[in-house]
């Protein structure tokens, strides 16, 4: 998993690229904590279009980030969910917790099914 960050007006935009699963969970958590704790961050946008695999550990990390952001008063938005993320969100009915519109990112539409984490 690679996380690219781009500075925006109020905060940061992250592109999560690769597998968001138990194997990367520890390192991803550490990185996310850094972003959340960065002083000036008002808003974090996470682009999930490049997430190729997603499991419970990944889900748990996103939930953690959301909870922490709410505690800190930072706006956390998830955008361009990839197919596997959407599948998981749908399965556990968690979309409303994040409160983001769930739209399938175009680039992911074709490949996601073969790359799902649960096969």
Give me 8's structure tokens. 């925006």
Q: Looking at beta carbons only, is 71 or 106 nearer to another protein? A: 71
C-alpha angle 54/57/58, rounded to 5°?
40
Pick from 63, 75, 79, 104 the residue near another protein by CB under 8 A.
63
Q: Which residues pair with 17 in a beta bridge?
A: 2, 50
Pick the piece of the chain touching another protein (CB under 8 A) from 2-10, 41-49, 51-59, 75-83. Answer: 51-59
Pick from 2, 42, 70, 97 the residue near another protein by CB under 8 A.
97
How many separate helices (H) and strands (E) can be counted in the chain?
5, 4
Q: What's the helix, strand, coil split of the chain in %, to 5?
A: 45, 30, 25
Pick from 41, 88, 108, 112 the residue near another protein by CB under 8 A.
88
Q: Where do contacts with another protein occur on this chain (CB under 8 A)?
A: 22, 25-26, 28-29, 33, 36, 55-57, 59-61, 63-64, 67-68, 88, 91-94, 97, 118
């Amino acid at each position: 998993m690679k996380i690219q960050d781009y500075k925006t007006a109020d905060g940061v935009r992250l592109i999560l690229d690769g597998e968001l699963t138990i194997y990367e969970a520890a390192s991803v958590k550490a990185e996310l904590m850094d972003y959340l704790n960065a002083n000036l961050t008002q808003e974090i946008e996470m682009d999930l279009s490049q997430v190729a695999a997603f499991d419970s550990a990944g889900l748990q990390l996103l939930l953690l980030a959301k909870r922490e952001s709410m505690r800190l008063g930072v706006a956390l938005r998830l955008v361009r969910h990839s197919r596997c993320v959407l599948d998981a969100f749908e399965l556990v009915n968690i979309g409303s917790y994040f409160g983001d519109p769930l739209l399938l990112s175009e680039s992911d539409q074709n490949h996601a099914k073969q790359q799902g984490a649960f096969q």
